[in-house]
Structure 1
Amino acid sequence: MSLAIDVVGGKWKMHLMWVLAEGPVRFGQIRRKLDGVSEKVLAENLRQLEASGIVHRELYAEVPPRVEYSLTPLGLTLNDALAALETWGDQHREELAGRLQP
Protein backbone atom coordinates (compact mmCIF):
# COMPACT_ATOMS: atom_id res chain seq x y z
CA MET A 1 0.00 0.00 0.00
CA SER A 2 1.15 3.52 -0.72
CA LEU A 3 2.72 5.47 2.12
CA ALA A 4 0.58 8.50 1.25
CA ILE A 5 -2.59 6.40 1.57
CA ASP A 6 -1.35 5.16 4.96
CA VAL A 7 -1.03 8.78 6.10
CA VAL A 8 -4.43 10.07 4.89
CA GLY A 9 -6.47 6.87 4.85
CA GLY A 10 -9.72 6.64 6.73
CA LYS A 11 -13.00 8.47 6.63
CA TRP A 12 -11.96 11.80 8.15
CA LYS A 13 -8.30 12.57 7.48
CA MET A 14 -8.68 13.99 3.99
CA HIS A 15 -11.63 16.13 5.11
CA LEU A 16 -9.53 17.26 8.04
CA MET A 17 -6.72 18.23 5.68
CA TRP A 18 -9.10 20.52 3.74
CA VAL A 19 -10.21 22.25 6.95
CA LEU A 20 -6.62 22.75 8.10
CA ALA A 21 -5.63 24.15 4.70
CA GLU A 22 -7.69 27.24 5.56
CA GLY A 23 -5.19 28.14 8.30
CA PRO A 24 -4.77 27.59 12.05
CA VAL A 25 -7.97 26.37 13.64
CA ARG A 26 -9.14 25.26 17.07
CA PHE A 27 -10.54 21.82 17.89
CA GLY A 28 -14.13 23.04 18.30
CA GLN A 29 -14.02 24.87 14.98
CA ILE A 30 -12.79 21.72 13.23
CA ARG A 31 -15.56 19.67 14.83
CA ARG A 32 -18.23 22.12 13.66
CA LYS A 33 -16.91 22.03 10.09
CA LEU A 34 -16.73 18.22 10.01
CA ASP A 35 -20.35 17.39 10.67
CA GLY A 36 -20.72 13.88 12.04
CA VAL A 37 -17.25 13.31 13.47
CA SER A 38 -17.06 12.45 17.17
CA GLU A 39 -14.63 14.17 19.54
CA LYS A 40 -12.82 10.87 20.09
CA VAL A 41 -12.35 10.15 16.38
CA LEU A 42 -11.31 13.72 15.63
CA ALA A 43 -8.74 13.73 18.45
CA GLU A 44 -7.37 10.37 17.28
CA ASN A 45 -7.06 11.55 13.67
CA LEU A 46 -5.33 14.76 14.73
CA ARG A 47 -2.86 12.78 16.89
CA GLN A 48 -2.10 10.42 13.98
CA LEU A 49 -1.54 13.29 11.56
CA GLU A 50 0.63 15.06 14.13
CA ALA A 51 2.71 11.89 14.63
CA SER A 52 3.15 11.68 10.84
CA GLY A 53 4.47 15.25 10.73
CA ILE A 54 1.46 16.50 8.74
CA VAL A 55 -0.21 18.55 11.48
CA HIS A 56 1.29 20.98 13.98
CA ARG A 57 -0.38 21.37 17.40
CA GLU A 58 0.30 24.72 19.04
CA LEU A 59 -0.49 25.00 22.76
CA TYR A 60 -0.73 28.57 24.03
CA ALA A 61 0.09 29.23 27.69
CA GLU A 62 -3.17 30.99 28.47
CA VAL A 63 -5.96 30.46 30.95
CA PRO A 64 -7.92 28.61 29.79
CA PRO A 65 -5.37 26.88 27.55
CA ARG A 66 -5.82 27.43 23.83
CA VAL A 67 -4.76 24.87 21.23
CA GLU A 68 -4.60 25.49 17.49
CA TYR A 69 -3.93 23.01 14.71
CA SER A 70 -2.36 23.78 11.36
CA LEU A 71 -0.64 22.01 8.50
CA THR A 72 3.12 21.69 8.64
CA PRO A 73 5.19 22.42 5.51
CA LEU A 74 5.05 18.66 4.85
CA GLY A 75 1.27 18.75 5.29
CA LEU A 76 0.97 21.62 2.83
CA THR A 77 2.79 19.59 0.18
CA LEU A 78 0.49 16.63 0.83
CA ASN A 79 -2.52 18.94 0.56
CA ASP A 80 -1.25 20.07 -2.85
CA ALA A 81 -1.10 16.42 -3.93
CA LEU A 82 -4.65 15.82 -2.68
CA ALA A 83 -5.91 18.72 -4.82
CA ALA A 84 -5.45 16.53 -7.91
CA LEU A 85 -7.65 13.89 -6.30
CA GLU A 86 -10.34 16.49 -5.62
CA THR A 87 -10.16 17.66 -9.24
CA TRP A 88 -10.60 14.08 -10.44
CA GLY A 89 -13.64 13.67 -8.19
CA ASP A 90 -15.17 16.87 -9.49
CA GLN A 91 -14.62 15.80 -13.10
CA HIS A 92 -16.28 12.42 -12.56
CA ARG A 93 -18.94 13.39 -10.00
CA GLU A 94 -21.94 12.54 -12.17
CA GLU A 95 -20.50 9.25 -13.36
CA LEU A 96 -19.64 8.14 -9.83
CA ALA A 97 -22.70 9.51 -8.03
CA GLY A 98 -24.95 6.56 -8.86
CA ARG A 99 -22.28 3.99 -8.03
CA LEU A 100 -21.11 5.13 -4.61
CA GLN A 101 -22.91 4.40 -1.37
CA PRO A 102 -23.58 7.48 0.82
Structure 2
Amino acid sequence: MKSIDLCPKLQKSMDIIGRRWTGLIIYQLLQGPQRFSTIEAALPVSGRLLSERLKELEQEGIVLREVFPETPVRIQYSLTDKGRGLESVIRDLEKWSESWIDSGDCGPETVQPQ
Protein backbone atom coordinates (compact mmCIF):
# COMPACT_ATOMS: atom_id res chain seq x y z
CA MET A 1 0.00 0.00 0.00
CA LYS A 2 1.05 3.54 -0.68
CA SER A 3 2.08 5.58 2.37
CA ILE A 4 0.13 8.79 2.97
CA ASP A 5 1.82 11.76 4.61
CA LEU A 6 -0.71 13.50 6.82
CA CYS A 7 -0.45 17.14 7.64
CA PRO A 8 1.01 17.34 11.16
CA LYS A 9 -1.70 19.83 12.18
CA LEU A 10 -4.47 17.51 10.98
CA GLN A 11 -2.83 14.61 12.80
CA LYS A 12 -2.62 16.67 16.01
CA SER A 13 -6.28 17.71 15.77
CA MET A 14 -7.37 14.10 15.23
CA ASP A 15 -5.25 13.02 18.20
CA ILE A 16 -6.96 15.63 20.40
CA ILE A 17 -10.62 15.11 19.51
CA GLY A 18 -10.21 11.43 18.75
CA ARG A 19 -9.41 10.52 22.35
CA ARG A 20 -12.12 8.55 24.06
CA TRP A 21 -14.85 10.82 25.52
CA THR A 22 -13.21 14.06 24.37
CA GLY A 23 -15.73 14.76 21.61
CA LEU A 24 -18.64 14.15 23.97
CA ILE A 25 -17.10 16.41 26.63
CA ILE A 26 -16.78 19.19 24.06
CA TYR A 27 -20.35 18.49 22.90
CA GLN A 28 -21.58 18.79 26.49
CA LEU A 29 -19.72 22.08 27.00
CA LEU A 30 -21.29 23.55 23.85
CA GLN A 31 -24.35 24.06 26.08
CA GLY A 32 -22.38 26.58 28.14
CA PRO A 33 -20.25 26.72 31.29
CA GLN A 34 -20.73 23.76 33.62
CA ARG A 35 -19.47 22.36 36.87
CA PHE A 36 -17.62 19.07 36.98
CA SER A 37 -20.56 17.26 38.59
CA THR A 38 -22.92 18.39 35.82
CA ILE A 39 -20.60 17.08 33.11
CA GLU A 40 -20.03 13.86 35.03
CA ALA A 41 -23.79 13.29 35.45
CA ALA A 42 -24.40 13.86 31.73
CA LEU A 43 -21.78 11.39 30.47
CA PRO A 44 -21.19 7.71 31.28
CA VAL A 45 -17.55 8.32 32.16
CA SER A 46 -15.68 7.89 35.44
CA GLY A 47 -14.73 10.97 37.41
CA ARG A 48 -11.05 10.07 37.12
CA LEU A 49 -11.14 9.86 33.35
CA LEU A 50 -13.28 13.00 33.04
CA SER A 51 -10.78 14.90 35.18
CA GLU A 52 -7.92 13.63 33.01
CA ARG A 53 -9.65 14.65 29.79
CA LEU A 54 -10.59 18.09 31.12
CA LYS A 55 -6.95 18.69 32.13
CA GLU A 56 -5.78 17.66 28.66
CA LEU A 57 -8.32 19.97 27.01
CA GLU A 58 -7.27 22.79 29.31
CA GLN A 59 -3.61 22.24 28.39
CA GLU A 60 -4.56 22.39 24.70
CA GLY A 61 -6.39 25.69 25.26
CA ILE A 62 -9.78 24.20 24.37
CA VAL A 63 -11.33 24.32 27.85
CA LEU A 64 -11.12 27.06 30.44
CA ARG A 65 -11.17 26.07 34.11
CA GLU A 66 -12.34 28.90 36.35
CA VAL A 67 -12.07 28.78 40.13
CA PHE A 68 -14.44 31.03 42.05
CA PRO A 69 -13.20 31.86 45.58
CA GLU A 70 -16.44 31.11 47.34
CA THR A 71 -17.23 28.84 50.26
CA PRO A 72 -17.21 26.12 49.17
CA VAL A 73 -14.95 26.79 46.19
CA ARG A 74 -16.82 26.61 42.89
CA ILE A 75 -15.04 25.36 39.75
CA GLN A 76 -16.58 25.84 36.35
CA TYR A 77 -15.53 24.59 32.92
CA SER A 78 -16.27 26.31 29.63
CA LEU A 79 -15.01 26.30 26.07
CA THR A 80 -12.47 28.87 24.99
CA ASP A 81 -12.65 30.52 21.56
CA LYS A 82 -10.45 27.68 20.33
CA GLY A 83 -12.90 25.16 21.81
CA ARG A 84 -15.94 26.92 20.37
CA GLY A 85 -14.19 26.76 17.01
CA LEU A 86 -14.87 23.01 17.12
CA GLU A 87 -18.65 23.53 17.24
CA SER A 88 -19.15 23.21 13.48
CA VAL A 89 -17.06 20.01 13.45
CA ILE A 90 -19.04 18.50 16.34
CA ARG A 91 -22.39 19.58 14.85
CA ASP A 92 -21.42 18.12 11.46
CA LEU A 93 -20.52 14.82 13.15
CA GLU A 94 -23.88 14.93 14.93
CA LYS A 95 -25.71 15.41 11.60
CA TRP A 96 -23.65 12.69 9.93
CA SER A 97 -24.39 10.22 12.73
CA GLU A 98 -28.12 10.99 12.55
CA SER A 99 -28.06 10.13 8.85
CA TRP A 100 -25.69 7.18 8.83
CA ILE A 101 -25.61 5.47 12.24
CA ASP A 102 -28.34 2.95 12.98
CA SER A 103 -30.26 4.01 16.09
CA GLY A 104 -29.95 0.42 17.32
CA ASP A 105 -26.23 1.15 17.74
CA CYS A 106 -27.02 3.85 20.31
CA GLY A 107 -28.41 1.76 23.14
CA PRO A 108 -27.02 2.10 26.66
CA GLU A 109 -25.33 -1.29 26.37
CA THR A 110 -23.03 0.11 23.64
CA VAL A 111 -21.62 2.89 25.84
CA GLN A 112 -19.55 1.65 28.75
CA PRO A 113 -17.96 3.98 31.34
CA GLN A 114 -14.19 3.89 31.67
SS at match of 1:74: helix
Q: How much is the aligned-residue C-alpha RMSD, in angstroms?
A: 2.0
- 1:79 aligned to which of 59, 76, 87: 87
Equivalents in 2 of 1:95, 1:58: separation in Å?
37
Give the whole-Å Cα distance in 2 for the aligned partners of 1:49 and 1:80: 18
Percent pairwise identity: 35
Query: What is the rounded CA distance, in whole Å, between the counterparts of 1:29 and 1:13 in structure 2?
Result: 16
Residue 7 of structure 1: CA displacement? Answer: 1.3
Are residue 8 (structure 1) and residue 17 (structure 2) matched?
yes
What does 1:1-102 align with in structure 2 at a 5 Å threshold? 2-35=11-44, 37-94=45-102, 97=105, 102=110
Q: Hey, what's the Cα distance between the residues in 1 that align with 2:14 and 2:94? A: 15
Stretches of 4+ moved more than 4 A in 1?
A: none
Tell me the distance in 2 between the aligned counterparts of 1:85 and 1:19.
14
Shift of 1:96: 9.1
TM-score, normalization by structure 2: 0.78
Alpha-carbon offset, residue 79 of structure 1 = 2.1
